[in-house]
Amino acid sequence: MALGQGPLRRCWTLATFFLLGRNAATYPQLARRAHTVGHHSYSHPLLDRMSISKAETEIDRGIAADEFALYGRRQTTPTTPFFRFPGFAANGALLNRMAERGLVVFGADVWASDWLPMGPDQELRLILSRIERAGRGIVLFHDTKAQTARMLPAFLYELKRRGYRVVHIVPK
């Protein structure tokens, strides 16, 4: 389906947003609009290339910025214990540390590759073909990409038309 075709109305779904602390600090009003928040470090470095203490400082700085933007409390124990490593760059020591802290680490099964230059129609075709191959899973989009924002209504319409459903992940 090409964008702009078909009976696309305003549509929405619940989603989990893994926030960068620097973005939450800069745009707290947008951070507060997220349905469920996970954490994604402060400035998006590849954490597996750092010492554990430096990586944890980056993680804590991000969590504290997110918590302050969302709840007015600067704390490193997150309200929602969800985390995604930037670039999925983790190692055993970091994963163990996250488990010790009670943080659930998320990955993704299907990537939109929306960090690459492409138009919304191309992104829609790409992500739908990847979902069809995988059959299900966690889909990775980046909320900072204009092409992704323009593509999402058609994407949600197509998911529903093809019999998929979106599952909203929340902490227990």
What are the tens digits of pLDDT across the range 108-161?
999 999 999 999 999 999 999 999 999 999 999 998 899 999 999 999 999 999
Token pair 């889909």 is found at: 139
Domain residue extents for the chain: 16-105, 110-161
Per-residue pLDDT tens over the stretch 39-82: 999 999 999 999 999 999 999 999 999 999 999 999 999 999 99
What's the N-to-C CA distance of the chain in angstroms? 37
Token pair 């929306």 is found at: 114
Q: What is the pLDDT of residue 14?
A: 86
**Can you read off the two tokens belonging to residue 2?**
């090409």
pLDDT category at 11 given cuts 50, 70, 90 is: low
Specify the CATH number of the domain 16-105. Answer: 3.20.20.370
Distances (CA, A) of 27 to 30, 68, 69: 6, 11, 8
> What mean pLDDT comes out for the span 8-29?
86
Predicted TM-score (pTM) of this structure: 0.88
7 pLDDT above the threshold of 70? no
Cβ pair 62, 20 in contact under 8 A: yes
**Can you read off the two tokens belonging to residue 94?**
């970091």
